[in-house]
Amino acid sequence: MPPDRMPRSKPRLIASNHDRLESREHVKCRGLEPIGTERSGSVNTEAMTNYSENLERHLTQENPVLLGAARSFEELDNIARELGLIDPEYASAGQISWWPVISVLGTFSAGKSTFINHLLQARIQRTGNQAVDDKFTVLSYSDDVESRTLPGIALDADPRFPFFQISKEIDQVLQGEGDRINAYLQLKTCNSPFLKGKIIIDSPGFDADPQRDAVLAITKHIIDISDLVLVFFDARHPEPGAMKDTLRYLVTETIKRHDSNKFLFILNQMDTTAREDNPEEVVAAWHRALAESGLVTGRFYTIFSPDVSVPIADETLRQRYLQRRDRDWAEINARIQQLEIERSYRILGTLERLVEEFQDVALPEIEKVFKTYRKRLIRTDCATFLPVLGAAGYGMVEFVPLEPNLLVMAGSGVLIGLLLLWSRVHIVLSVIFAAFGVRTLKKRQKALNIRWDMVRGFRANAVPWPFFRKPGLMGWSRRCEIQLSAIRQRCKESIQSLNDLYTNPSGRPETGRPVETASPLAIECTAEPVPAIPNEVEPGPEPPRELPTPPERESP
């Protein structure tokens, strides 16, 4: 169901996955922010329930395969809340985008907007050699022929779109900038059939925006929620030079991700290299640039837009460039066609990875630090309590000449005073030892690069008097372990179900499965080579219908 047809939901819903940046330093040095970082606000159980119900209703209509995953995310959140690892208002299901998301990133003048215009067969984005757009643009389908531009608040307040409550994240990076959400985001509508059932995000040129920290924070959010990331580079600049910061950030984000296969590196405007006839040298230069940043990528997709191509006089050379462009566009097109399939596998993989990080990484790390905290308190309490007993005994001996009643009163007073002093020392030491634990877990959080907020979970357990409850982490039980094992098993079964939809290793005809029960994600495969990027996709059970690539338009 396209975005404009979905029923409006009114309640203020749970925060997005990335409403939790702690500081500007974290944007620069951390790969992933811990989810559920504590923030102010009351618990809104009704809003969380409404969000889950709306998401399940949407997935029932558009992608039933992910319906079980959404419920498993909710079950995982309930366990994490019991252990204090997430904010009560947070929901991991926010990682499931309501529609497939294609993001277009890259430096300015790399031809991103021209590519999108050709993809949609509409002049929806402004183009130029310099930075012409300084906002992140979300492109969504609309029945209206006339395109409309809506302010950023339309995205910030709607949980169905990728930037729900992103203003809070911007505010964490640059204080006060969250109120200027309209300066960072905009929503554009377009009547292109290609946009039916999907969303495209166009980014501004990285080097064109002075508010770089906020831009990188938003970019990180986009990368996390996108199902396909197209990273554009300009073939006219074979030596990146000034773009090293951009390269380093994009490459770093790619290397450490489990879903790095969703990144496609595209070398655009390759027709400009025809005069020197050196496309291989240009591609090699960019390969070296990526390698210096730490990424050894298999290939670049080399394309150029037929709408603004540079004339190539030599017909043989021209045909060679066209064949290479059409081949790479066909591969990009193939990835877009199977976007729903890859999205299902990606979300199930994300769920399984979150469970593994929760049970096998986060909980053992928290328990290890908590045990150290508890041991330190026990040792210091023993070391400080013995002098208290000695002082009390000394006081009793010193006051022996007194009357018995006075002796009891004096001894009791001394003992109470010493116990109060000891308890005060104990609380101070517990705060100091807890600070040591927090510092240790912050370092481990950065090194392990996991999403669960281990610091928050430790603080939930690091009470001043941990001796008066059973050992182990608060909220953890055999029941939680069984639930996590069940979620893992359901993930594996869901992946097997997807495999059954798209594979048949035995080659036997499956007569028992009616045609109408096939997954809505299924795409008919043909032996013919995939043509250029489609400009129109018809809704319904039929496979996407593609328009041919527009003819080459030569400049006079």
Q: What was the pLDDT predicted at 208? A: 44
- Model confidence at 488, in pLDDT bands (50, 70, 90)? very high
Domain ranges across the chain? 98-337+504-548, 362-477
- State what percent of residues in the chain have pLDDT above 90: 15
Tell me the pLDDT of the chain averaged across its residues.
74
Tally of CB atoms within 10 A around 304: 26
User: For 1-10, 261-270, 411-420, 428-437, which range has the lowest pLDDT when averaged over its residues?
Assistant: 1-10
One DSSP character per residue, 275-292 reads TTT-HHHHHHHHHHHHHH
Q: What was the pLDDT predicted at 270? A: 81
Question: What average pLDDT does this structure show over 234-241?
Answer: 63
For 98-337+504-548, CATH gives 3.40.50.300
The span from the CA of 238 to the CA of 279, in Å, is: 10
**pLDDT, tens digit, 9 for 90 and up, residues 114-124:** 888 888 888 88
Among 92-96, 249-253, 298-302, 389-393, the range with the most confident prediction by mean pLDDT is 298-302
**pLDDT, tens digit, 9 for 90 and up, residues 507-520:** 877 654 444 333 33
User: For 70-74, 93-97, 163-167, 516-520, which range has the lowest pLDDT when averaged over its residues?
Assistant: 516-520
Q: What was the pLDDT predicted at 481? A: 92
Q: What was the pLDDT predicted at 411? A: 59
Tokens 């043909």 belong to residue: 526
Q: For residues 337 and 110, which has the higher predicted lDDT (pLDDT)? A: 337
Residue of 157, 159, 119 lying closest to 139 (CA atoms): 119
Instruction: Report residue 274 as tokens.
Output: 């025809």
The span from the CA of 404 to the CA of 236, in Å, is: 98
Tally of CB atoms within 10 A around 108: 24
- Model confidence at 211, in pLDDT bands (50, 70, 90)? low
**pLDDT, tens digit, 9 for 90 and up, residues 29-45:** 333 445 444 433 333 55
- Strands laid side by side in the 149-151 sheet: 149-151, 185-190, 136-141, 199-202, 101-106, 228-234, 263-268, 301-302
Tokens 């924070």 belong to residue: 217
